[in-house]
Amino acid sequence: MTIALAILNQKGGTGKTPVTIHLAGALAVLGKRVLVLDLDGQADLSSGIGFKRDVYGTDGDSILGLLLDLKADPNPLIRRAPNDNFDVIPGNMQMYLAEQSLIGQRNRERRLARVFQRIETAYDYILVDCPPALNVVTDNALLACRRVLIPARMHRSYRGSINNLMGQINTLREVFEVDIEIVGVVPVGFEQQADQQAFMKALKENAPQLLAPVLRKRQTLIEDARDAGHSIFSYVPGGSYRKKAQRESQEDYLALAEFVIRRTAEEVS
Ligand SMILES: Nc1ncnc2c1ncn2[C@@H]1O[C@H](COP(=O)(O)OP(=O)(O)O)[C@@H](O)[C@H]1O
Ligand SMILES: [Mg+2]
């Protein structure tokens, strides 16, 4: 059975894209067959995983075409990540037009779910990197995946964004009468600062099962790997200090992968 996860927080800069990339890398290391979808018009995932502009540039095929034409075949759009052991459907700037293009289309929130039905490879995991928004694109991601993983900076100002997202999930649950499970909240770029700890404490008290392993702050490594077009599992940094940072971050992402595997094997909670 394929397990799909929307990686979503409507706030930008919370770590959606790096979490999608490196979680995919970790799941692949654990032997899982993984497909990643880039739904963000910025196509940060597609460039950060090493595709050239001819793939994610404005003229390339995009997921938008699949959302607009239900007869379109998604399988030819699936590509191997240039440097990693997982598959990707790249995104491009056309995704910015999705909201507008889907107006007036029937079943416009359920189109990605239809696309999933046509994917022929039996993936263990499909990870969907979402734009920083709550719109028809993210509705499609939530309704197709039925599971969401929320990367969050543990700062006070991010609390509101999680509450908004929970509200949106509840609305979709009611309107479409579907279950959408929150798999976890992932503390990204964690440092021991007071309000980060307050956030974690609140989560621990209210929904301990949702607290995913923390991802320690590794800005330089994450950005160097992105510039090189690799996940941290295929990236080769220079210098022993950087190698240590990479080992630690790999540990964090493998712990996150184990958490995701465990949480998605459970019944909905
Ligand atoms: N361990 C980590 N994992 C992922 N991102 C991290 C980590 N440590 C620091 N960061 C930083 O967090 C930022 C969040 O990524 P970004 O692409 O801006 O998120 P989003 O896709 O949500 O907009 C990046 O600048 C990244 O370098
Ligand atoms: Mg992003």
pLDDT in tens, 128-170: 999 999 999 999 999 999 999 999 987 777 777 788 888 899 9
Distances (CA, A) of 64 to 59, 87, 99, 137: 12, 18, 10, 9
Which of 188, 251, 254 has most ligand 1 atoms within 8 Å of CB, for mutation? 188
Q: Is 14 left (phi over 0), alpha (psi -120 to 50) or beta?
A: alpha
Q: What is the pLDDT of residue 189?
A: 86
Cβ of 215 less than 6 Å from ligand 1: yes
Q: What is the CATH number of the domain that holds 21?
A: 3.40.50.300
Nearest to 233 by CA among 217, 250, 245: 250
Structurally, the chain folds into a number of domains equal to 1
Give the pLDDT mean for 112-134: 96
Dihedral sign, CA of 254, 256, 257, 263? positive
User: pLDDT per residue over 209-249, tens digit each?
Assistant: 999 999 999 999 999 999 999 999 999 988 888 899 999 99
Cβ of 17 less than 6 Å from ligand 1: yes
Rounded CA-CA distance 24/92 in Å is 20
| CB distance 207 to 184 below 8 Å | no
pTM of the model: 0.95
Confidence of residue 196 (pLDDT cuts 50, 70, 90): confident
Three-class SS of residue 129?
Answer: strand
Cβ of 91 less than 6 Å from ligand 1: no
Given a cut of 60, whether residue 268 has pLDDT beyond it is no
Higher pLDDT, 29 or 160: 29
| CB distance 31 to 122 below 8 Å | no
Q: What is the pLDDT of residue 59?
A: 64
Could you list the residue range(s) of the whole structural domain that residue 14 is in? 3-265
Q: What is the pLDDT of residue 112?
A: 97
Give the pLDDT mean for 183-200: 85
Please state, as a whole number, how many other Cβ atoms lie within 10 Å of the Cβ of residue 198: 14
